[in-house]
Amino acid sequence: MEHGSLFEPTTLGPYTLKNRIVMPPLTRQRSGQPGDVPTALMATYYQQRASAGFIISEGTQIEPRGKGYAWTPGIYSQAQIDGWRKVTNAVHAEGGVIFAQLWHVGRVSHTALQPDNAAPIAPSAIQAQKVKAFIETGPGAGILVEPSEPRELTVTEIKGLIELYAQAARNALSAGFDGLEIHSANGYLVNQFISAHANQRNDKYGGSLNNRLRFLREVVQAVSAVVGPDRIGVRFTPLFTSTSEDRVYIGFVEEDPHQTYIEAIKVLEEVGIAYLSIAEADWPNAPDLPEAFRREVRRTFSGRILYAGLYTADRAARIVEADLADLIAFGRPFIANPDLPQRIANGWPLNALSAATLYGGGEQGFTDYPLYSPTEFEVKKEVLS
């Protein structure tokens, strides 16, 4: 077996994982309409990839205002819960483990996506820059647009949002998910509260770093009260250098990113959650995370540490063997290779990714990627080894 460290047994909260290869949250925009309901096709897609150590679902909106992209699924209606139950049943039938990613985009939205065409909500009334929302322009058609100017949340509304996260956690349990990931990355709502760029409040949810971390703390505590901390993960995107990349999926570069995220991780350690997910910059020639930061993350957090980015199997094995990570997520490779763990274990080549079919559409580029068919020589070699 190649890259044996990726196949060593490990646990995640109450679960024993079959390998350390994770399918991360991957927006595919194929929910059923109207109602943003998970479909039977989505169940097939996740079932095909159930050989992952565990799966984290694509981001799923905790409420209608949490939507920033057309055709993304939610987890606030009974129809959505029922749809997700088909997904979790399909994954469990293959012996897989699947967590739901709870998502609220905050200000990264457009009035066309909001109930009653209202303004998006945010910590402060500051319009998002260098990101896009995606609105539907007709059946199966849509365009990227500038996010609308948001309105600032009141403290009472913030408390209501925290309860919406807790309710989404209840809904996820009802849908059969094994655990939850709180999306606190990529410039979305929780990240907006953490960042001094997006949060310019002068009450207990703004100002000092400790105050800006309050929303994260209260959301994690509320969700933990529903599912238990040993079935929760949180995702961050710490960026240490500015970039000219004009991308949707990008976080904020804080004045002191090291301090900001280590303090945020201390919040998670206090609650005792199961894992921390760190999504690194994933475009060509993107800056790597400083090793000093990786090492302090390990010293600060006692749960499982998951990294995602432009990882190859070689690089993933090295960081696991260096004890800087416990789990590695492979995004685009898992889209194109439903049998990715088997391909890594056997050194089999990977399918090419179809970029044109990433978002929206049907089974093409979604459930039609082939499994690898080993040659007679490869079968004999595997038996002999």
Alpha-carbon gap, residue 74 to 110, rounded angstroms: 17
| Rounded-to-integer distance, Cα 371 and Cα 297, Å | 36
Query: Rounded to whole angstroms, how far apart are CA atoms 149 and 379?
Result: 58
CA angle 179, 183, 186 (to 5 degrees): 155
Please provide the size of the chain in residues: 385
Q: What CA–CA distances, in Å, run from 379 to 260, 351, 383?
A: 50, 19, 6
Mind giving me the DSSP string for 199-211? ----STTSSSHHH
- Which stretches does DSSP call E strand in 176-265? 179-183, 232-236
C-alpha closest to that of 53 among 2, 93, 14, 9: 9
Catalytic residue IDs: 188
Neighbours of 370 (CB within 10 A): 10
What is the rounded radius of gyration, in angstroms, for the C-alpha atoms of the chain?
20
What is the residue-wise DSSP string for 10-32? EEETTEEES-SEEE--------B
Tell me the CA distances in angstroms from 338 to 47, 315, 341, 366, one per residue in order.
Answer: 9, 20, 9, 10
Report the DSSP beta bridge partners of residue 138: 141
152 contacts 125 by C-beta, under 8 angstroms: yes
Look up residue 190 and give its two tokens: 């929780």
